[in-house]
Structure 1
Amino acid sequence: MGNIRPAYIKTIGEALIRRYGSEFSSSFEHNKRKVEELTTIKSKHIRNRVAGYITRKLGRASGERAQAV
């Protein structure tokens, strides 16, 4: 089963992708730093969830599949 994310995580993530799509990549660490730069989110937990959502969304869009280890 997949992860269930709150609507506000999806809303923030999709808005960031729409506005700054070329700034993000399929790397979580890179996206985490970009979310911190581009937003005023103070909570590390929320920032990481948004970055994870963006990473997963971009990974699916490019056809990459995360391998379960």
Structure 2
Amino acid sequence: MGKVRPERVKRIARELLSRFPDRFTADFKAKKELVKSLVKTSSPKLRNMIAGYVTHLVSTAQTTKVETEEATP
């Protein structure tokens, strides 16, 4: 079973990733600071949840990219 995240977290994370795809690195701490500068929220928990979901989306995209490259002869 996976983690349950509110739709708000998913929506914000997908929007940030679509607007700034090249600014997100593999480092979680860097993502957390980037989310802090891009999203004005007073809740550190919400910021961390967004950064964590962005991390999940980036790693999933990288895994999918590698799998398609390996499958293509």
Task: Indicate the TM-score class for this superposition, using the shorter chain for normalisation.
Answer: 0.7 to 0.9
For the residue of structure 1 that corresponds to 2:12, the secondary structure is: helix
| Aligned positions, number | 64
Partner residue, 2:52: 52
Q: CA RMSD in A?
A: 1.3
Please report the TM-score for the alignment, with normalisation by the length of structure 1: 0.86
Please report the TM-score for the alignment, with normalisation by the length of structure 2: 0.81
Take 2:26 and 2:63, find their aligned partners in 1: how far apart are those partners? Answer: 11
Q: Which has the higher helix share?
A: 2
Take 1:4 and 1:39, find their aligned partners in 2: how far apart are those partners? Answer: 21
**TM-superposed deviation, 1:26:** 2.1
Unpaired stretches in structure 2, ≥5 consecutive residues:
65-73
Larger Rg belongs to:
2
Q: Percent identity?
A: 33
